[in-house]
Amino acid sequence: MGYDTLVPPPRLLDDGAAVEVELGGAPRRFHAMWLRDNAQDPATRSPGNGQRLVTLQDITRDIRIAEAAWASGQLALRFEPEGKAVRFNPDWLLHHAYDKPPPVAAGWTGEALTRWDAGLASQTPTERYDEVRNDPGARLRWLGAVRRYGFARLTRAPTTPDAPLQLAALFGYVRETNYGRAFDVRAAPNPNNLADTNLGLQAHTDNPYRDPAPTLQILGCLENTVEGGDSIVVDGFKVAERLQAETPRGFDLLTRYCARFAYAGSAGVRLRSKRPMIELAPDGELIGVRFNNRSAAAFTDIPYDDMADYYAAYRRMGELVEDPALAVRFRLAAGDMFIVDNLRVLHARTAFTGGGERWLRGCYADRDGLLSTLAALEEAAA
């Protein structure tokens, strides 16, 4: 007994322009064009690399489903006028079903993400470096935490200068910038970046003046014997949620208009970007936060009539960024590292005083490589 007998037969709609199929206990509609374009047969998709072998122009615009039936647990379709027969696995169809209500409110995030506040401090995702390096299970847990929380810690890492690079190599590739493949964060006499002082730094995302901005940052502690200099992380997606709840208009302004960011602290470098502080995808999904008081440039893309309210929203966002109720605070000791999703989680540092050494070393990497490695590990573990 399979789909063939347990599930109602598929029903053709609109003269075969679509079909309604019972999947997961609910009817789901699929268009003939979508089904034909997503056929998994070896003439449509390369069995070797899964890449599509046809263009949309190879599919006639008046394609119809002439027959639809369950056969040996598969959805068997015949397309006309092509006469092509294709079968679909119902699990694949359910996983890719699009016949669902559209998102109602802007600023939503998917089930893979959990927004957090100070409560995460008691359960900060943390793994040991050697386990993440040697044990695929620990690596999967750690990378999974980065995907869910945009933040994870690591203990007992090497205190060698290339430790952040070695960590990045466990899941992806270093993003080299004008700061080098790796960069130091330590008090310097004439710093070209305020990070290299003993001043506190307001929570921020790094390098919003790049486009694309690095999507991951790794920071490792090689030495920390100063007074102060604690690390703070804040979930920018939680900040966005709070802002939206308090002032829907303020949230709308920060998503609708672009801010400007710039960096010109080194000879030969004039980085500039124009991006919103809170970025939504066209379907309203919250996909990025950029916030950095040091590198915000003059905003020139907000109409005069909205500028005052824009600044009010920007101010409120900064207050939420500094709200201890949203912050997780910790102290990095030599051998500790952490990683943040740099388009989501802001990091800060409290001021520190002399008499010791504070030496962090970091690098940038990208989220797509991390998510790819995570997905491959999940597939291997399934």
Q: Measured from the CB of residue 272, what is the shortest distance to Fe ion in angstroms?
A: 19
Size of the site for Fe ion (CB under 5 A): 1
Contact map string, positions 174 to 203, toward Fe ion, x by CB under 5 A = ------------------------------
Residue 226 to residue 258: CA distance in whole angstroms: 39
Nearest CB to Fe ion, comparing residues 117 and 206? 206
**Residue 199: how many other CB atoms lie within 10 Å:** 13
Q: Which lies closer to Fe ion via its Cβ, residue 291 or residue 310?
A: 291
Q: Closer to Fe ion by CB, 179 or 237: give it.
A: 179
341 in Cβ contact with 367 (< 8 Å): yes
Nearer to Fe ion, 231 or 244 (CB): 231
Query: Distance (Å, rounded) from C-alpha 191 to C-alpha 109?
Result: 38
State the nearest-atom distance from the C-beta of 195 to Fe ion, in Å.
6
Does the footprint of Fe ion cover residue 341 (CB under 5 A)? Answer: no
Beta-ladder partners of 47? none
- For residues 240 to 279, the per-residue mask of contacts with Fe ion, x marking binding by CB under 5 A and - elsewhere, is ----------------------------------------
Range list of β-strands (E), 226-357: 227-228, 231-235, 259-263, 271-275, 278-280, 286-289, 327-330, 337-341, 345-349, 352-353
| Nearest to Fe ion of 316, 349 (CB atom) | 349
Residue 100 Cβ, how far from Fe ion at the closest point, in Å?
A: 39
Rounded to whole angstroms, the Cα distance separating 95 from 38 reads 13
Q: Which is nearer to Fe ion, 44 or 202 (CB)?
A: 202
CB of 340 to Fe ion, least distance (A): 9
Candidates 140-148, 163-171, 204-212, 304-312: pick the segment binding Fe ion (CB under 5 A). 204-212
Residue 218 C-beta: closest distance to Fe ion, Å = 11
Instruction: State phi, psi for 303 to the nearest 5 degrees.
Output: -60, 150
Q: Which of 117, 127, 206, 241 binds Fe ion (CB under 5 A)?
A: 206
x/- mask, Fe ion, residues 60-89, rule CB under 5 A, reads: ------------------------------
Report DSSP state, residue 57. Answer: G
Residue 201 or residue 374: which is nearer to Fe ion going by CB?
A: 201
Cα torsion 160, 165, 167, 168 to 10°: value is 170
Quote the least distance from Cβ 234 to Fe ion, whole Å: 12
- C-alpha distance from residue 133 to each of 57, 193, 367 (Å): 46, 32, 18
Output the smallest distance, CB 232 to Fe ion, in A.
11
Rounded Cα distance between 31 and 326, Å, is 45
Residues 6+ apart with CB under 8 A from 272: 209, 260, 261, 262, 297
Task: Give the N- to C-terminal CA distance of the chain in Å, as an integer.
Answer: 25
**What's the min distance (Å) between Cβ of 189 and Fe ion?**
20
Q: Measured from the CB atom, is 127 or 206 closer to Fe ion?
A: 206
Binding residues for Fe ion, per CB under 5 A? 206
